[in-house]
Amino acid sequence: MMTQIDYKRELETASKGMIMIHDHVLLIKLLVRMIVRKAKLRHAGMILYEPSRDSYVLAISRGQPGERIPERFVRFGKDHPLIRIFYEKEYKYLIDSRNALVFDDLNRLIWRESVLGSANGSRELLHRVSEQMPMLNSIACVPAFYQHHLLAVLLLGEKQDGSALVQEELDFFSALASDVAMAIRNAQLFEGLKNEADRNRNLFIQTTTALGSAIEAKDSYTHGHTERVTKYSLAMARCMAAKGFFNVPEKFYENLYIASLLHDIGKIAIPEAILTKRGSLTPEEFEIMKTHSKRGADILSSLTDFEGCIAGVRHHHEKFDGTGYPDGLKGDEIPMISSIISVADTFDAMTSDRPYRKGFPKERAIEEIKRYAGVWYHPSPASAIIELYENGEI
């Protein structure tokens, strides 16, 4: 008997651990290992329901060499006897008295069902269960339900001293299984929410890419511009982080990627006559063109959780000395994302062909950035693009 175990304390300790762990596979591994160690079993395992496949799999197996069963080697459909006996409500009475299905009880249960002449096929089902349990090195099976849904089956092997499992132990394992079911359900819900968020984020990224293409479709002379600015921006950020120029906040690269792709989205609101004009813009036309950064931020303003991206779009034409637009920010008032995009945008603009001029050689563009580093451009991203050029990386 587990006379040395304080059941209440062990249950409380396990329950606290379950609250902290959102990965239900890791949770089950820890619990099964604990059961093997505390109850001194030769083997324990867990059959786990997988919603994506609407079936059950032996997810975890722990214990002595030779007793363990290869994990995920055995899959169970809902018609498997070990699943049916717990899953189908008509057989629930077979385990009510013990909160578990115990191998040593099977002959008695089979005899009782024969005497009663049960018409629900329970006798045949019990026979099939008696054949399956030894194959899984189990002397007892404990179901884990959440709101009548079977989420897992705990498999308990023989005790190391050969003694039988007593009711006190089975009650403990049943209570533990109940908590496990709740934890599994919570973990699955958490994982489902995370997956949904990831899907939404991926959809947003795809939409962002499509919007970037839409910008270039309207302004044919900037074909490939957003893709190059994004490539330069990410390379500069990685270079700056490697040099220790700044601490990279969480989500920085994702925000930089999105802001780079959308930095010119406001050009959608600029008349095509101005966008595609072959000559220099008039002062009035230039004032209209300058509104694209603010308009871009306005277009994105309804997005939540992307404030960093919106700031990057709004301020990518600010200058380090405060002479930029739209808000005349200066120095460290300018978000780092905007400062990086500003340098990348300028470098690509100088090296790309325009209707009214040929692109500059990269060497000349780098000289211009060197000249105005600390004046128009933040020194850190300016230094990063210079290093990338000198190393032949751009």
Euclidean distance between CA atoms 297 and 259, whole angstroms:
10
Residue intervals of the chain classified under CATH 1.10.3210.10 are 206-390
> In the numeric block, which tokens belong to residue 231?
């490539």
Quick check: helix, strand or coil at residue 388? Answer: helix
State the sign of the Cα–Cα–Cα–Cα dihedral 56, 62, 63, 67.
positive
> 7-191: what fold?
Beta-Lactamase (3.30.450)
Instruction: Give the model's pLDDT for residue 3.
Output: 47
> Packing angle between helix 292-300 and helix 283-290, nearest 10 degrees?
20
Instruction: Give the model's pLDDT for residue 339.
Output: 96
Instruction: Give the model's pLDDT for residue 121.
Output: 82
Distance of CA 336 to CAs 97, 129, 227, Å? 66, 65, 19
Residue intervals of the chain classified under CATH 3.30.450.40 are 7-191
Quick check: helix, strand or coil at residue 146? Answer: strand
204: amino acid identity, one letter: F
Closest C-alpha among 43, 74, 62 to residue 138: 43
Euclidean distance between CA atoms 333 and 326, whole angstroms:
13
- To which H or E segment does residue 60 belong? strand 55-63
- To which H or E segment does residue 384 belong? helix 379-390
Instruction: Give the model's pLDDT for residue 7.
Output: 52
Instruction: Give the model's pLDDT for residue 62.
Output: 86
User: How many CB atoms within 10 Å of residue 41?
Assistant: 24
Nearby residues of 159 by Cβ (< 8 Å), 6 or more positions away: 39, 40, 41, 42, 165
DSSP helix, strand, coil percent of the chain (3-state; round to 5): 60, 10, 30
- Within 13 Å, how many C-alpha atoms sit on residue 247's CB side? 2
Instruction: Give the model's pLDDT for residue 1.
Output: 43
Q: Using CA atoms in the order 10, 16, 17, 20, what is the torsion angle rounded to 10 degrees? A: 180
> In the numeric block, which tokens belong to residue 137?
């090195």
Euclidean distance between CA atoms 170 and 147, whole angstroms:
21
Q: H/E/C letters for each residue in 172-233?
A: HHHHHHHHHHHHHHHHHHHHHHHHHHHHHHHHHHHHHHHHHHHHHHHCHHHCCHHHHHHHHH
Quick check: helix, strand or coil at residue 108? Answer: helix
Whether 191 and 183 have beta carbons less than 8 Å apart is answered as no
119 backbone dihedrals φ, ψ, rounded to 5°: -100, 5
pLDDT by position in tens, the chain (length 394): 444 556 556 555 655 555 555 566 777 787 788 888 878 888 888 888 888 888 999 888 888 877 777 777 788 888 999 999 988 888 888 876 778 889 988 888 888 888 777 767 888 999 899 999 998 889 999 998 887 888 889 999 998 888 888 888 888 888 888 777 777 777 666 666 666 666 766 766 666 666 666 666 666 655 678 889 999 999 999 999 888 877 777 788 888 988 998 888 888 788 878 877 777 888 999 999 999 999 889 888 876 667 788 999 999 999 999 999 999 999 999 999 999 999 999 999 899 877 667 888 999 999 999 999 999 999 999 999 999 999 988 8
Sheet holding 55-63, edge to edge: 75-76, 55-63, 43-50, 149-156, 140-146, 101-102
Is the preceding omega at residue 326 within 30 degrees of 0, hence cis? yes
Quick check: helix, strand or coil at residue 151? Answer: strand
Q: DSSP letters along 289-337, please?
A: HHTHHHHHHHHHTT-SS-HHHHHHHHTTT--TTS--SSS---GGGS-HH
Instruction: Give the model's pLDDT for residue 185.
Output: 75
The dotted CATH code for 206-390 is 1.10.3210.10
Q: DSSP letters along 248-294, please?
A: --TTHHHHHHHHHHHTTGGGGGS-HHHHT-SSPPPHHHHHHHHTHHH
